[in-house]
Amino acid sequence: MISIIIPVLNEAKTLAEFLSYLTENISDKYKVEIILVDGGSLDKTVAIINKFAESSSIPVQLISSEKSRAKQMNLGSRKATGEILYFLHADSYPPKNFDIYINSEVKKGNPAGCFRMKFNTNQWGLKITSWFTRFNWRVCRGGDQSQFITKHLFEEIGGFDEKYIIYEDNILIKELYNRNKYVVIPHTLTTSARLYNEKGVWTLQYHFLMIHLKKWMGANAEELHKYYLKNIKA
């Protein structure tokens, strides 16, 4: 079984469409469960999930959590019954039959990895960024590409580092690359460019680069979060 774990927070605008997409693009070949972990939404996110769960042919759990993607995803993993965990953002749309591709890689002996990625825009800077996601280089990785990992390996690593409010996905990915256990599936996930549209492509790329650089130079979790709040979240 694959346990799809989705951290959510105030996603009411697009959540119904996203959940419908998931159910339409999961194959009938494997068992799948969907675990949505809400970090305290103030909009209609919870109501949309409950309505979806009533009619879904796929088992759906809604879990309440403290706000923090790392904490939300770790909690979801503890509730998961699948042997494979698939962490997915609520604005990222995996390819059709994504569960087949993930299971195939695990059967080949690849316990962790992601899909290639593209943004839902024709902006040329983001098209270049997307093109590089085909390469199995750690510098080309990020949480928007989604993340599959066997539950055994996830627990062995210790899950997401909850000290990190941001950058938690990169910390996990670094552990996986250090263990030489990462594969990039040659199918494409489509993710939203909404933050780039809001902040500006080059401005946001600069700030993300600065976050990576600060971490490389030894910045701790709190320092990275402060930079994010000042330059991206603001």
pLDDT digits (tens, 9 = 90+) for 69-88: 999 999 999 999 999 999 99
Residue whose C-alpha is closest to residue 118's, from 86, 146, 90, 147: 146
pLDDT class of 1 with cuts at 50, 70, 90: very high
How far is it, in rounded angstroms, from Cα 140 to Cα 122? Answer: 19
Which residues share a beta bridge with 36? 6, 62
The average pLDDT across 213-230 equals: 95
Residue whose C-alpha is closest to residue 63's, from 204, 205, 53: 53
How far is it, in rounded angstroms, from Cα 87 to Cα 104? Answer: 17
pLDDT exceeds 90 at position 143? no
Q: What is the pLDDT at residue 230?
A: 94
pLDDT tens per residue across span 86-126:
999 999 999 999 999 999 999 999 999 999 999 999 999 99
pLDDT class of 233 with cuts at 50, 70, 90: confident
Domains of the chain (ranges plus CATH)?
2-192 (3.90.550.10), 196-234 (no CATH)
Please say whether the beta carbons of 103 and 172 come within 8 A: no
Which helix (H) or strand (E) element contains residue 128? helix 124-131
Q: What is the pLDDT at residue 28?
A: 86
The average pLDDT across 173-197 equals: 95
pLDDT tens per residue across span 151-184:
999 999 999 999 999 999 999 999 999 999 999 9
Q: What is the pLDDT at residue 18?
A: 97
pLDDT tens per residue across span 8-53:
999 999 999 999 999 999 998 999 999 999 999 999 999 999 999 9
How far is it, in rounded angstroms, from Cα 117 to Cα 57? Answer: 28
Give the residue, 142 or 162, on which the prediction is more confident: 162
As given in the structure block, the two tokens for residue 84 are 């494979």
Residues 23-44, buried b or exposed e (16+ Cβ, 10 A)?
eeebeeeeebbbbbbbbebeeb
Please say whether the beta carbons of 7 and 78 come within 8 A: no
Q: What is the pLDDT at residue 147?
A: 97
pLDDT class of 234 with cuts at 50, 70, 90: low
Q: What is the pLDDT at residue 160?
A: 97
Q: What is the pLDDT at residue 14?
A: 95
Q: What is the dihedral of CA 132, 137, 143, 146, to 10 degrees?
A: 80
